[in-house]
Amino acid sequence: MPRTAMAAVHDGDGSELKVREVTVDDPGPGEVLVRLGASGVCGSDRHVIDGEWTLPTPTVLGHEGAGVVEAVGAGVTDVAPGDNVILSWCYPCRRCRACAAGKAWACTGTRSGECLLPDGGTRLSDENGMVYPYLAVGTMSEYTVVPESAAVRVPAEVPFDVASLIGCSIATGVGAVVNNARVPAGASAAVVGCGGVGLAVVMGLTLAGAYPIIAVDTAEEKLAAARSFGATHTVRADKEPVATVVGEITGGGADHAFEVIGRVETIETLPSLLAPGGVGVLVGLPPEGARAGIDVLELAEAGKTLVGSNYGGAVPSLDFPRLADLYLAGRLPLDSLISHRIRLDEVNDAFDAMRAGTRTRSVIVF
């Protein structure tokens, strides 16, 4: 029986999100109906609202969510009604070369980027027809239907607000450190941009035993938050010469530097923060079609590397439970990352606050 759900819908006309009713159909074969418990408000949703990335519309936004399995379609064996799950915006097809190589984040066999389920449809609609779930999950809704591989079981002791963050910012940020950069204990690191994802990078660096951990941001609140998660030094990007200060703290440049904003200007300066042989990790995602200019000689002569990081190199079925266990063991202070718990109808305020740089992470609680 189809049901209605309140959802935050992006109409693609430049206006703010509309919180309105959508119809959610039953799950088809290989699909899972989830009642959302929480959805994080992430920078990637803002890219869409601000027209930096184009999508089919109308779209239910949100790609960082957790909830309870309400019903499953034919053939679903990984999860059952009543299970708590974290949703993954990259649902692996489990058949392509990337999936076979253990690189679910690079899966080429699905239509998640087109906001479609594996059969090319969606289970959301309104009076005008099809509604698209952002990245095939659309978590800013009371209910959503996702492919089985996008719903990863999580222990019931992990609260929904924390679980939702594991599905994007934590997987992305901690994963960039442990899966992509593989930062060893004692290595130095700089983190440029300390929003929800950047703070997760700081947490990952703390977990890995990096030192020093230099947090860079334009907002004092973000730097204070970074210190609370283990940053040993902070730099105000709007007041201090970042490369000079990082060079002084590290004695010649950081072993690793992470860009976690998605701004071309900061991406271009990443090599200047690195020691010879250092590795710059691109975590922030810029607007579609953005191109960056880099000083090739600086990169070549000093043997520096720039690497892309998508979804923290995560395999959701492996990384989500691992991150949940670290949280339950007290090794990842994820509760402290949540600065605001909000209602669905307060979602536009959360994006305004994100643009103003005044919140670490807002989480919608259903």
Active site members: 42, 44, 47, 63, 168
Query: Among Zn ion, ligand APR, none, what binds residue 354 when CB lies within 5 to 8 Å by partner kind?
Result: ligand APR
Closest approach of Cβ 171 to Zn ion, in Å? 9
Bond prior to 118 in cis (omega within 30° of 0) = no
Burial of 314: CB neighbours in 10 Å, binned 0-12, 13-18, 19+: buried
The alpha helices in 19-159, defined as continuous H runs, are 43-49, 97-100
3-state secondary structure of 308: strand
139 binds ligand APR (CB under 6 A): no
Interactions with Zn ion, residue window 110-169 (CB under 5 A) = 168
| CA distance to 205, 348, 357, per residue, from 120 (Å) | 39, 30, 37
Query: Among ligand APR, Zn ion, none, what binds residue 30 when CB lies within 5 to 8 Å by partner kind?
Result: none
Closest approach of Cβ 195 to ligand APR, in Å? 2
Selected from 24, 30, 44, 361, the binder of Zn ion by CB under 5 A is 44
| CA distance to 34, 71, 174, per residue, from 278 (Å) | 43, 48, 19
Q: Which residues contact 126 (CB under 8 A, 6 or more apart)?
A: 9, 20, 21, 22, 23, 58
Strands 65-72 and 3-10: unpaired
Positions of E strands within 73-212: 84-87, 124-126, 129-133, 143-147, 151-153, 189-192
What is the spatial distance between Cα 366 and Cα 289, in angstroms, rounded to a whole number? Answer: 35
Using alpha carbons, select from 177, 314, 170, 203 the residue that is nearest to residue 257: 177
260 binds ligand APR (CB under 6 A): yes
From the list 39-47, 134-142, 206-214, 244-252, the region that binds Zn ion by CB under 5 A is 39-47
Closest approach of Cβ 132 to Zn ion, in Å? 17
Interactions with ligand APR, residue window 148-177 (CB under 6 A) = 172
Interactions with ligand APR, residue window 106-135 (CB under 6 A) = none
Nearer to ligand APR, 167 or 196 (CB): 196
How many residues bind to ligand APR according to rule CB under 6 A?
27
Selected from 96, 336, 357, 365, the binder of ligand APR by CB under 6 A is 357
Q: How many CB atoms lie within 10 A of CB 303?
A: 11
Contact between residue 359 and residue 353 where contact means Cβ atoms under 8 Å apart: yes
From the list 20-28, 36-44, 312-320, 332-340, the region that binds ligand APR by CB under 6 A is 36-44
3-state SS of the chain: helix, strand, coil percent to 5?
Answer: 35, 25, 40
Query: Among ligand APR, Zn ion, none, what binds residue 226 when CB lies within 5 to 8 Å by partner kind?
Result: none
Selected from 27, 30, 37, 43, the binder of ligand APR by CB under 6 A is 43
147 binds ligand APR (CB under 6 A): no
Nearer to Zn ion, 168 or 202 (CB): 168
Closest approach of Cβ 79 to ligand APR, in Å? 26
- Rg of the chain, C-alpha, whole Å: 20
309 binds Zn ion (CB under 5 A): no
193 binds ligand APR (CB under 6 A): yes
Nearer to ligand APR, 240 or 298 (CB): 240
What is the spatial distance between Cα 76 and Cα 275, in angstroms, rounded to a whole number? Answer: 49
Closest approach of Cβ 26 to ligand APR, in Å? 32
42 binds Zn ion (CB under 5 A): yes
What is the spatial distance between Cα 20 and Cα 141, in angstroms, rounded to a whole number? Answer: 9
Using alpha carbons, select from 354, 231, 190 the residue that is nearest to residue 223: 231
What is the spatial distance between Cα 323 and Cα 166, in angstroms, rounded to a whole number? Answer: 7
For the window 311-340, what string marks contact with ligand APR as x by the rule CB under 6 A?
A: ------------------------------
Selected from 48, 285, 338, 363, the binder of ligand APR by CB under 6 A is 285
Interface with Zn ion by CB under 5 A: which residues?
A: 42, 44, 168
Using CB under 6 A, list all residues that contact ligand APR.
Answer: 42-44, 47, 172, 192-198, 216-219, 222, 237, 260-262, 266, 283-285, 354, 357
